[in-house]
Chain A
Amino acid sequence: MRRTMPPNFPIPLHAPNRYSPPMTTPDPLTLNSWQVIAALDELPPGLVERTILLDTPLAMTRDRDGLPVVWRRTDEETGDEIDPETIFDRLPVTTGYGFVWTSLGTPPTDLFPIPEYAEPDRVNMSCGSIGIHVSAPRAVENFLDMGHFPYVHTDILGAEPHTEVKEYDVEVSEERDEVLATRCRFFQPRAALSATDGMEVEYVYRVPHPYCSVLYKSSPEAPERRDVIAIFLQPVSEERCRAHLLQSMIDSTSTITELRRFQQTIFGQDKPILENQYPKRLPLDPRSETPIRADKSAIAYRRWLSQKGVNYGVIPVAS
């Protein structure tokens, strides 16, 4: 396990002589899956952008048709001009939900489905990315978790004293190979109204990919339809990720800037908590942490990862 200086260590220490632990080779599923690396509209045509995926440095750009090109980076720097035609050793690439996805192995033809994205009257937007010093699965688990709303997203997604997580249902859908949590309800205060005057918001969560999750939230405007918020995590290393956010909203009154700022506030609140979580990789052994009924979705998620043999960003169950 890599150890780094805790951010709030009380006594200032100078650059220590760092020890680097051995690296994990990602399991086949992780290698052969599509992994998100950037928002499409933030990738400049003809210029190099750099990133890291599964400890592997990558470079990317867009060609004349606007299609992304991704390859293993050698000495390219951000902002270098490049002719995409000169790049031969390309990694597989696809675009989906406004993002660029690649793979270090042999990916499937399709990305997991989010059918709502195609509905004509929705506003789809990518809401930026945020780097978090924690594993991607820990970030997924945080996304599935309602219990922290009153403490971490105070007065936005929840507020003390309304802390109860009511019973909800979880299943692992065999046919779609995803974790599904339904009938999730949480008391949400409305900003302008008094604390006693809130409403119960209903959520549905899907985990269709080990590092991605999609949330459906009852929309105040059209109760029979739902706002969609998805989080795609880029596993940078075992203990670092970048969270890329997508919103697909029915809301016609808020501006894109407002909606973006809202999501960034939410993730900005999660970041310091997640970065204080130990171990940074998600422990899959049921006895490593203490789950409660409210954590049913997390329990199912951990089990699902275990069954799939995911080993990257997790601490597998000792055999």
Chain B
Amino acid sequence: MTLSLTDSTWYPIASSDDLPFRHVYQGQLLGRELAVWRADDGNVNVWENRCLHRGVRLSIGINEGGELKCQYHGWRYANRSAGCTYIPAHPADAPARRIQNRTYPVREAFGLIWSAANDDQPFQPFPGAETGEWFPLRPIPVNAAPEDVLAGLVTLAPDDQPADILPGLAVRLGAAHYFVQPVDSNRAVIRGLLQGQPEDAVTTLRSYNETLTKLRDRLERAARKKPAPEPLQPSFEQVSVDLATMPDIAIPRGNTITVVVKRKWASADGIIGFELAPREGHLPTFQPGAHIDVHLPNGLIRQYSITNGPGELLSYIIGVKAESAGKGGSKILVESVREGDLLSISEPRNNFPLRRDAVRTVLIAAGIGITPLLSMARFLDKSSLPYELHYFTRLGEHIAFRPELEALHGKVQFHTGLARPEIAQTISQTLGEWSHAQHVYVCGPSALLESVRVTAATQGWPEESIHFEYFKNDKVIDDSSSFEVELARSAMTLQVPAGKTILEVMREAGLQVPSSCEQGACGTCLTGVIEGECDHQDVYLNDTEKRANTAILTCVSRAKSARLVLDI
């Protein structure tokens, strides 16, 4: 058998003990280096040992519990997905979600961490594995070809009890199972498991160790006499063309994910929590401040912020306000969606990115506005960055996600039942005078937003330091311009007069164009722009995306140039 880079066998690559709290272990399998780390939720990650940015080993990075941070420029990668969540050189931008490191399958079993070069085979424990308790021997690295190491192990069998060769590079010799971890073409590690807890562990370990050390010396002596085999040459996967020309932004569109409503509960009086889980695996990477579109049973699309902390991708938790008035969206979720129901959601988008380069971060929420700020607080918390969170509610019973907020370590203050002037005063005191690298994030009713914006401005906070997000487009749309649109793929040129939207004109010309909110908030009508300058009037695209001028929401936005060429 010769080793192959595409060998899909599962091999042990580490002992469970190699992954203590917040540690990153450097492993190797079939010539590939691996960064192996356990997140605070217990999940073990096996990633290519190389930061996608500039190739620095992630095994020298910092395990922050939910994210791994590279040593060179501090890029953060999320637990489970290995998606990049933060690029410190551009703290105000949300990184492209598709910056995602290569991950390998992983299983923790019998005191060992197992992995494989690809997903082609499901994990299959060796015969009899499930029946016993297993005691791992000390690993023995050997500088010899893995096949030779296996052959050497076989020779250890006594004459009357032949070795039992198992699939993969494994063999059973009486009570001991040995697995050869193929590190490279000329290096291996022998990992052994003993059935049952030995009576005298120290003596047992020592005796196995002696036998294996002798075997190692014998194998290495033989290997030195042979010509060195050529090492395996794993190649690094190329990044996508989009990423290679990063200054341009690609806006993801249209992909939906089906999720199960795993839990639905009253988080506070009038606020319902929903836990949305994927049917298998994990959900995509998100950044603090991100939201998802939820496609409702009645065809409407609504946006909800993700409340999760770093690396929590097994489900998204959102909060929904049970509005008494007959507002279509939330009402349907609250009244008719039950645990176990399936929903369709979009991939997360982030129009409310959190800078992690502040010396002081102030988070101000009211009511349901707590949701994105809870996520932000959790990220700051895990990285031990300073922040304070102020949460205004009318009544104590209205405090949503209270246990989650109380679990935070930062300064979290509940302000309950304050009258308007008191709220204004609290905001003013909280903000104080601005100084370098202070940022405030606000989410809540428009009155709160306005109050924070005005107060901050009068207290010297520059515009770039005040952050908020719109889910509704409250702006007055200026539809006074008239221009020409060329539809590249439909080979059509249309005139858009003042008072009409691009969307309307396209529909009148007989085109089928999807839309939903028709106020520039949901992104359904997003269309690629090939030429011309957009006059963006939506609240869906973030600033970077607007500047990129590569896509437009045809329901509200228009052209600044006389002509616009659309990819439709």
Contact = CB atoms under 8 A, between A and B. Distances in A.
B121 interface: no
Contact of B230 (A19, A148, A161, A279): A19
Contact of B87 (A13, A277, A292): A292
Contacts of A279: 55, 236
Interface in A138-163: 141, 145-148, 150-152, 160-163
Nearest to B185: A19
Interface stretch (A45-53, A69-77, A222-230, A283-291): A283-291
B53 A289 contact: yes
B88 interface: yes
Interface stretch (A3-11, A32-40, A121-129, A234-242): A3-11
Interface string B66-78: 0000011110000
Contacts of A148: 72-73
B88 A287 contact: no
B26 interface: yes
A1 B54 contact: no
Interface in A171-217: 195-196
Chain A: interface size category? 35 or more
B246 interface: yes
Interface string A235-277: 0000000000000000000000000000000000000110011
B57 interface: yes
A64 interface: no
B72 A152 contact: yes
A287 B90 contact: no
Given A164-B91, A289-B239, A277 B56 contact: yes
A162 B436 CA distance: 10
B509 interface: no
A93 interface: no
B238 A285 contact: yes
A19 B231 contact: yes
A19 B31 CA distance: 14
A86 interface: no
A272 B90 CA distance: 25
Given A6-B57, A287-B244, A147 B358 contact: no
A82 interface: no
Nearest to A161: B357
Contacts of B25: 10
Chain A contact residues, majority secondary structure:
loop
Contact of B71 (A164, A273, A283, A291): A273
Interface residues of B, number: 62
Interface stretch (B220-228, B307-315, B325-333, B497-505): B220-228
Most buried by A among B71, B73, B184, B189: B73
B437 A196 contact: yes
Nearest to B98: A290
Contact of B224 (A6, A17, A19): A17
Given A19-B231, A163-B74, A285-B238, A147 B88 contact: yes
A255 to B, nearest CB: 32
A91 interface: no
A6 B56 CA distance: 12
B186 A10 contact: no
Nearest to B386: A161
B480 interface: no
A90 interface: no
Contacts of B243: 287, 290
Q: Lowest 5 CB-CB distances: which A-B pairs, in order?
A: A163-B88, A294-B89, A287-B238, A19-B228, A165-B89
Given A6-B26, A161-B356, 15 more contacts: A15-B143, A16-B187, A17-B226, A148-B72, A151-B88, A272-B60, A277-B56, A278-B33, A287-B240, A288-B239, A290-B52, A290-B243, A291-B246, A292-B89, A293-B90
